Structure 1
Amino acid sequence: MDFDFALLLVVLTAVSGVIWLLDRLFLAKARAQRAQAFETMTALSQEEREARSRNALREPVAVEYARSFFPVLFVILLFRSFIAEPFKIPSGSMMPTLLVGDFILVNKFSYGLRLPVLNKKVLDVGEPKRGDVFVFRYPENPKEDYIKRVIGLPGDEITYRNKVLYVNGEEIAETGLGPYVGPGESGRSMAGAQVKLEKLGAVEHRIMELPQAFIGHEGTWKVPPGHYFAMGDNRDNSQDSRFWGFVPEQNLVGRAFVIWMNFDNGIDFSRIGTLIK
């Protein structure tokens, strides 16, 4: 069952805000009037008048919670929707750049400001660049987030053949770096993999290949307008555009830019603060 945290956050913020606003506009005034009425009752003792006045001014539990939580929820909603959103890496498809257990931050305004839940762009401030590590909503299930690298821009021709990548007919340069040595269970599972340095335009980054593996998805793809071609850095262990097609522009979430924590059977302090490139 898919859990839409963004929708829940919007609903909680809206409900608490409406309760707080209604209280400020109507209910608080009514409580103040009742309290003042008790204070003028001469038939009651001073202690009784003060006690009843305090009780009349007391906020209902719902209003008290709304007043306390609304500012916090509102700030979280703004930050998460328009500035940065945290994600956890669940698989090894972006190894060696990102490891299982990495917690990353995604820049939400890199590709334009979008309304939460609706994902409608309201301000165009940038577009994906070739080589970006980006988060997007999986085209076949928009409630699921994927993270890959931008390989093809609208209009590009992408070819992947014999483990070699071509963009618009030009072979992308690679330099061998040797066998992969990495931490954790995911690192042990990739024993025998070879790491290469790939130069994708102005971006240099590491990729991983399994020499004996054949993923069975080679070919040439023409990227249509308003779409992007995505691939994982773990080229022989990634479900990406080679399998399910292109990423529509409206599915973009943002650009991954930093690892703020790694927890995979323990904290790996060496990865904290690592910039993603």
Structure 2
Amino acid sequence: MDFALILFVLSIVSGVLWCYDVFKARKSRPKGTPDPWWVEYGASFFPVILPIFLLRSFWLEPFRIPSGSMIPTLQVGDFILVNKYAYGVRLPVINRKVIEVGQPQRGDVMVFRYPHDIRQDYIKRVIGLPGDRVEYINKRLSINGKSLETTAAGDYLIPGSFDVFQRFEENIDGRKHAILNNRDAQAFIPEQLIVPHEFSGNCQHSREGVRCTVPAGHYFVMGDNRDQSADSRVWGFVPDENIVGRAFFIWFHADRILPPSGVDFSRIGSFH
């Protein structure tokens, strides 16, 4: 069951018990008589659960990075904070936007519900906005006909492995971030890996890569670990209603491959 739904139900139930206790039960209960256990425990949870529910639903939500698709920006085992307010106020559980605050920008690291299974949360970098023409040809990224500036930054060893990739600094709308390319990986997506979607006709796949026009109300996203990321090149675009928020801060890191305990405090901080 979705954790947001669990918190919502607990908030409602404990809130009803708290109101019952404060406005009715205490007035009719003889002095010195203890509260029934179900009232005592239920009502006492409400002041704790409600702030957590409101904070998590409308401002900040924690996530853990489970895969390497965003290396080197985010590592497996990073615990991050996501600003849910950045892209508008949404009703919890149903995730429907009710107040417009801001829109995703190119270069943002965004958490969203996977379009083909909304029970799964994904994290990728926003590359294309609605109406953009995105091309990833021979491992070079272009947006609306303009090739993004990239600067070689040496080799990069994937933590916990023997894989050495090429590292580049990519500039998207004046915002710089690191990406990885595998020298030995092909530029195109094999046909058998491509997931059909509503706007499949907006993309043209070839031996050189992919070209896509982003439909209205949708976003094109990619992982920074370009050759080890299943993203919009594979399964299509992210609809606005699937957006969770903008990731911006690593508050903890724990991964069993790191000695001695898997904890790396140097990872704590903001990222781009």
Query: Structure 2: which 5+ runs fail to align?
Result: 190-208, 257-261
* Residue 241 (structure 1) aligns with: 232
**Contact 1:92–1:100 (CA under 8 A) maintained in structure 2:** yes
Q: Is 2:179 aligned against 1:181?
A: no
* Residue 132 (structure 2) aligns with: 156
**Contact 2:158–2:164 (CA under 8 A) maintained in structure 1:** no
Q: Is 2:110 aligned against 1:134?
A: yes
* Residue 111 (structure 1) aligns with: 87
> What stretches of structure 1 move > 6 A for 4+ residues in a row?
none
CA distance in 1, matches of 2:165, 2:244: 30
The one-letter code sitting in structure 1 at the alignment partner of 2:16 is V
The one-letter code sitting in structure 2 at the alignment partner of 1:102 is D
User: Deviations 1:158-205 (Å, cap 9, x if unpaired)?
Assistant: 01111111100111111111110354x2xx25x221110000112100
Q: Which of 19, 23, 26 is equivalent to 2:24? A: 26
Deviation, 1:86, is: 0.2
CA distance in 1, matches of 2:17, 2:185: 59
**Contact 1:160–1:220 (CA under 8 A) maintained in structure 2:** yes
User: Deviations 1:16-71 (Å, cap 9, x if unpaired)?
Assistant: 0011112222222221xxx2xxxxxxxxxxxxxxxxx52xx211111111222101
The one-letter code sitting in structure 2 at the alignment partner of 1:247 is V
Deviation, 1:156, is: 0.1
**Contact 1:262–1:268 (CA under 8 A) maintained in structure 2:** yes
Coordinate RMSD, CA, aligned: 1.1
Deviation, 1:83, is: 1.2
CA distance in 1, matches of 2:6, 2:211: 41
* Residue 11 (structure 1) aligns with: 9
* Residue 257 (structure 1) aligns with: 248
TM-score, normalised via structure 2 length: 0.89
CA distance in 1, matches of 2:174, 2:61: 26
Moved more, 85-94 or 17-26: 17-26
More helix by share: 1
Q: Which of 50, 61, 76 is equivalent to 1:74? A: 50
Q: Is 2:198 aligned against 1:200?
A: no
| Max Rg structure | 1
The one-letter code sitting in structure 1 at the alignment partner of 2:59 is I
CA distance in 2, matches of 1:145, 1:238: 14
The one-letter code sitting in structure 2 at the alignment partner of 1:269 is F
Output aligned runs, 1:31-110, within 5 Å: 31=29, 35=30, 53-54=31-32, 57-110=33-86
TM-score, normalised via structure 1 length: 0.87
Moved more, 246-255 or 207-216: 207-216
Percent identity (aligned): 54
* Number of aligned residues: 248
